């Protein structure tokens, strides 16, 4: 039952102490305390769809709903000057929601007609549209063309979102990735769709073109965006192995530009290891870098005996960092695959007048589990950074990065798996999975939502069949 507010609209009679006896005859009517049930803590509804809530009201003996007036209304949580909107005067709510896209407080009131005493309950209400928060899937279809599918938070699917918003024009040939830029106060939020043919930022609310990637640079870089990351202060792009950054907070310019390439001779893996500090990995020199925000990259020192972070002798196939917990899948020259775990830190040393980046190597385990050698994609959730999920063929397995033991259940789907990725924005237990028949044609692929359990097992929560091509990347759009 939700929080209940009670207003006693009863006048208190003030009596003075006197020497005479009060012989008045008073008939008091006892108040009927109500219990209101049926409202959840929060609701999310799409514009022009129906919101239905059935209320159960109980009172003391003699209670009758006919003795009460009812009202439902909502007020904006973002506009303090907005007038509350009345939704219904019925006990049970069943209305089409036409409110503007926003966050609201929803209130139900039951007022006793005779006394004016009212009881009320509250809930959070989020009104969205087809392009409000959700997951973007970038896929490859006929002729190497790109296609964009969007699934919002109430599971409404919009196919061909980019083409529909831009007069049938394609986002480009050979899609590579989709990234959400901005997110900091005062910074323009855009989606970046990267293909080998062109790279365009679009409006997150409707997928219409905003400006080309070149418009975000003083000098346009060559190559295709391979990764994006942020520490909340700076935003980083990796373009063909080179790193670029821009300040996003604090930022008086909402469309701040990216600086020139970060100085140094390096060839980065397509992963920004974004934790409490930003690190990168060099695929040629096989070392970890830290960027302090000026000058160039600093090679991280290595501690611990599990591996040599200054020269691992391996390429990075997949990498993630959560706070200070660095996790990666590596492969050596012999083709052997390994899971590595470490702590990445960058403390400022006043005596040495500079940052001292360090990778504390904790574990290195060879991946000999079934399907590990054939895996094509991997995912780790901040919910438990020691659970590594990997996909091979049409199966998904989970393994402990602490001891290499298989965890949970092996998921088997009807088609080969193209991509897996966790939602790290507002639901780190939700795993996005894309499958397809391999033809790379329109609507040849499907998308699944799985929920991660504490033991590593996965449970299917939703399925969207034939909504995309062969997915190359997911991105959650808040």
- The tens digit of pLDDT for each residue in 37-86 reads 999 999 999 999 999 999 999 998 788 999 999 999 999 999 988 899 99
Say how far apart CA 300 and CA 290 lie, in whole Å.
Answer: 6
* Radius of gyration for the chain, computed over Cα atoms and rounded to the nearest angstrom: 29
Which residue's entry shows tokens 């063929």? 393
Say how far apart CA 291 and CA 259 lie, in whole Å.
Answer: 14
Domain count, the chain: 2
Residues pairing with 139 in the sheet: 147, 471
Q: Is the pTM of this model over 0.75?
A: yes
Mean pLDDT across the chain = 91
458 is a domain residue = yes
Task: Write down which residue in 78, 97, 128 finishes a domain.
Answer: 128
Say how far apart CA 303 and CA 358 lie, in whole Å.
Answer: 7
Tell me how far CA of residue 217 lies from CA of 93, 221, 246, in angstroms.
51, 8, 10
Q: What is the CATH number of the domain that holds 63?
A: 2.60.40.10
238 φ/ψ angles, rounded to the nearest 5 degrees: -105, 120
Closest alpha carbon to 244 in 477, 284, 264: 264
pLDDT tens digits, one per residue of 305-319? 999 999 999 999 999
Q: Name the pairing type of β-strands 118-128 and 42-46.
A: parallel
438 is a domain residue = yes
389 is a domain residue = yes
166 is a domain residue = no
pLDDT for 393 beyond 50 = yes
Number of helices (H), then strands (E), belonging to the chain: the values are 1, 38
pLDDT for 186 beyond 90 = no
Residue 58's domain spans which residues? 4-128
Say how far apart CA 149 and CA 458 lie, in whole Å.
Answer: 24
Q: What is the pLDDT of residue 15?
A: 36
- Residue range 419-424: mean pLDDT, rounded: 97
Q: What is the pLDDT of residue 258?
A: 95
454 φ/ψ angles, rounded to the nearest 5 degrees: -65, -20
Task: Write down which residue in 104, 128, 152 finishes a domain.
Answer: 128
Tell me how far CA of residue 223 lies from CA of 175, 199, 242, 456, in angstroms.
13, 10, 9, 38
191 is a domain residue = no
Residues pairing with 349 in the sheet: 354
34 is a domain residue = yes
Task: Write down which residue in 84, 106, 128 finishes a domain.
Answer: 128
Q: Can you tell me whether residue 437 is helix, strand or coil?
A: coil
93 is a domain residue = yes
Q: What is the CATH number of the domain that holds 453?
A: 2.40.128
384 is a domain residue = yes
Please, is 26 exposed, middle or buried when counting C-beta atoms within 10 Å of its C-beta (0-12, 13-18, 19+)? exposed
| CA 146 to mean position of chain CA atoms | 23
């Amino acid at each position: 039952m939700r929080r209940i507010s009670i207003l006693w609209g009863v006048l208190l009679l003030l009596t003075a102490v006197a020497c005479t006896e009060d012989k008045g005859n008073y008939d008091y009517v006892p108040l009927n305390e109500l219990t209101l049930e049926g409202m959840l803590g929060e609701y999310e509804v799409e514009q022009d769809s129906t919101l239905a809530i059935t209320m159960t009201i109980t009172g003391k003996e003699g209670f009758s709903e006919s003795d009460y007036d009812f009202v439902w209304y909502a007020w904006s949580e973002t506009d303090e000057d907005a007038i509350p909107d009345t939704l219904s005067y019925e006990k049970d709510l069943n209305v089409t929601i036409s409110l503007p896209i926003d966050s609201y407080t929803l209130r139900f009131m039951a007022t006793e007609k005779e006394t004016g005493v009212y009881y009320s309950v509250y809930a959070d209400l989020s009104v969205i549209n087809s392009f409000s928060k959700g997951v973007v899937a970038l896929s490859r279809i006929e002729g190497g063309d790109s296609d964009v599918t969007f699934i919002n938070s109430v599971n409404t699917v919009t196919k061909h979102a980019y083409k529909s918003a831009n007069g049938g024009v394609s986002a480009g040939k050979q899609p590579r990735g989709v990234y959400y830029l901005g997110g900091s106060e005062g910074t323009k939020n855009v989606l970046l769709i990267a293909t080998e043919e062109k790279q365009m930022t679009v409006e997150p609310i409707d997928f219409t073109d905003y400006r080309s990637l070149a418009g975000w640079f003083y000098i346009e870089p060559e190559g295709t965006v391979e990764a994006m990351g942020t520490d909340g202060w700076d935003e980083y792009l990796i373009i063909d192995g080179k790193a670029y950054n821009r300040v996003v907070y604090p930022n008086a310019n909402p469309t701040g530009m990216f600086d020139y390439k970060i100085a140094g001779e390096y060839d980065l893996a397509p992963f920004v290891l974004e934790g409490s500090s930003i690190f990168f990995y060099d695929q040629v020199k096989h070392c970890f870098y830290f960027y302090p925000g000026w000058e160039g990259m600093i090679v991280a020192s290595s501690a611990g005996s599990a591996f040599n972070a200054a020269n691992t002798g391996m390429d990075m196939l997949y990498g993630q960092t959560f706070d200070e917990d660095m996790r990666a899948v590596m492969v050596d020259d012999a083709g052997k695959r390994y899971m590595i775990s470490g702590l990445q830190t960058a403390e400022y040393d006043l005596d040495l007048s500079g940052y001292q980046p360090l990778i504390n190597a904790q574990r290195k385990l060879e991946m000999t589990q079934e399907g590990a050698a054939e895996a094509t994609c991997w995912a780790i959730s901040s919910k438990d950074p020691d659970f590594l999920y990997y996909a091979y063929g049409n199966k998904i397995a989970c393994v402990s990065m602490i001891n290499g033991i298989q965890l949970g259940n092996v998921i088997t789907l009807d088609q080969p798996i193209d991509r897996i990725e966790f939602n790290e924005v507002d639901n780190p237990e939700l795993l996005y999975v894309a499958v397809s028949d391999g033809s790379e044609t329109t609507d040849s692929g499907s998308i699944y939502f799985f929920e991660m359990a504490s033991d590593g097992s996965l449970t299917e929560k939703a399925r969207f069949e034939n909504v995309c091509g062969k997915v190359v990347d997911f991105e959650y759009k808040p």
